[in-house]
Amino acid sequence: MQAVRDREAIEILKANDRGGYTVPTSRLYPYQWNWDSVFVALGFHTFDKDRAWREIEMLFEGQWDDGMVPHILFRRDDPDYFPGPSVWRAGGAIQSSGHSQPPVAASVVCALVEAGGEEGERRGRSLFDKLLAYHRWFHRHRDPHGKGVIGVVHPWESGRDNSADWDNAMRQVRIAPDLGNYQRRDTAHVDADQRPKQAEYDRFLTLVTFGRDQGWNQDTIAREGQFFVADPGNHFILMRADRDLLRLAERFGKTVEADEIRAWLTASEVGTNLIWNDDVSAFCARDLRSGQFSDAISSAAALVFYAGAGSEEQRALMIDHLHRIMDNVAFGLPSLDPDHARFEPKRYWLGPVWMVMNFMIARGLAEAGQVALAEQIKAGSRQLIEEQGFYEYFDPVTGEGCGGGDFSWTAAMWLAWAGRHGEAAEAA
Ligand code: DGY
């Protein structure tokens, strides 16, 4: 099975290659997505190092002048996806969406550099300033008041579109009266029961329309938009990425930049407390306007270990939650606590297991000394792919593969992590 899945995974990455960048899967997602691409680079790196670097370099070709790396790069128009470039009307050299996505790039670049080799050293060094500009953009525009916690201006910016994390804030979003009769394309490719609901899509588009009407001025969007929510996912992922960027800064002798990054980390440690919800004893999303907490414990909260964040007490309470959650499902880690009223095991980010989340969570748990939990998550991930193949996500109760098939980042996670034995293989 190992050899068969290895071969299939490589074939998927090659088939989804569009000439130096990779689409997440054909038809459903026909463009270059930010965090998909970065994780895909880890997969390519196991059999084609040059191609791995190319993936990330092409993503950064779409970086905006202000440092932002958009969540989608529309290199060519494709009628299979909505909303496409004519809806967003954003971007510079390459047409793009108008906000970002979880900033995993510095962590993956750091892993590729540390995997060794002169070529990796050279290409990592040449990406450093771009990564730094990207992180500066996140700290400036997604934490405009310097609270030390990262917000998202659209659920798509979190990468976890219909997570219960956004429910309270999304209820407050007044749907734009002039949306018209748009046609969703996602439900032409995937069962509607496995995708976000129509009411969520109306709000997703309302937020896009607002950003577009502001000419994608990020200050205005964060200040006046209808949605600005502290996201445990992006907060913890950026903290980890800041630590990895710091490793790169130290490696490349960038002392002034290293001090700047250390200051971000100090602020983030304080800001982490702002997303601790005492009512449920867990990290939760929090509306940055009203201060209202979500009561949902999503898998993003488990990224606290990946970030190396949180107090001893907070971390112990999160471990208790993880044991309880893992005991409730056949395959962990579900994207939403199964005890939550909104849990739906097949609907996108309301329950399904996602390989890239498992990869980051398991790594963080292992680093925190929670080796048994980390191994449980990795073994479950491996079994899901062995039995079902390379789906976008998986039902945590039945194990059934859901969403798109032949999915690039699932293939990449197999090659770089779930299909490998031992720590050494995981380093790259
Ligand atoms: C989609 O279209 O479903 C994407 O998740 C948006 O990034």
Q: Give pLDDT, residue 25.
A: 97
**161 annotated active-site:** yes
For each of the chain's 428 residues, which pLDDT tens digit applies?
889 999 999 999 999 999 999 999 999 999 999 999 999 999 999 999 999 999 999 999 999 999 999 999 999 899 999 999 999 999 888 999 999 999 999 999 999 999 999 999 999 999 999 999 999 999 999 999 999 999 999 999 999 999 999 999 999 999 999 898 999 999 999 999 999 999 999 999 999 999 999 999 999 999 999 999 999 999 999 999 999 999 999 999 999 999 999 999 999 999 999 999 999 999 999 999 999 999 999 999 999 999 999 999 999 999 999 999 999 999 999 999 999 999 999 999 999 999 999 999 999 999 999 999 999 999 999 999 999 999 999 999 999 999 999 999 999 999 999 999 765 335 44
CA distance 362 to 303: 9
Give, using CA atoms, the residue closest to atom 7 of ligand 1: 156
- The answer to whether 77 touches 85, Cβ cutoff 8 Å, is yes
Number of structural domains found in the chain: 1
In this prediction, residue 421 carries a pLDDT of: 79
- Classify residue 78 by burial, with Cβ atoms within 10 Å: 0-12, 13-18, 19+: middle
Residue 121, ligand 1, Cβ within 6 A: no
Pocket test for ligand 1, best of 27, 29, 32 (most atoms within 8 A of CB): 29
Full-model pTM: 0.98
* Residue 31 CA: distances (Å) to CA of 101, 105, 154, 375, 390: 14, 18, 19, 33, 19
Nearest to 125, CA basis, from 73, 53, 34, 55: 53
Residue 234 and residue 420: Cα distance in Å, rounded? 27
User: How much distance in Å is there from the Cα of 314 to the middle of ligand 1?
Assistant: 32
Is the CB of 156 within 6 Å of ligand 1? Answer: yes
pLDDT value at residue 426: 53
Structural domain of 370 = 2-425
**Residue 80, ligand 1, Cβ within 6 A:** no
Q: Which atom of ligand 1 is nearest to the CA of 195?
A: 3
Tokens of 139: 């700290």
Tally Cβ neighbours within 10 Å of residue 185. 17
- CATH number for 83: 1.50.10.10
216-241 in b/e form (b: 16+ CB < 10 A) is bebeebbeebbbbbbbbbbbbbbbbb
Strand 90-91 vs strand 151-152: parallel, antiparallel, or unpaired? unpaired
Catalytic residue chosen out of the listed positions 143, 287, 392, 395: 392
Helix (H) or strand (E) run with residue 377 in it: helix 371-388
What are the tokens at 167? 């429910």
161 lines ligand 1 (CB under 6 A): yes
Is residue 271 within 8 A of residue 149, CB to CB? The reply is yes
Residue 92 has a pLDDT of: 81
Kindly state if the Cβ of 186 falls inside 6 Å of ligand 1: yes
Q: Is 408 strand, coil or helix?
A: helix
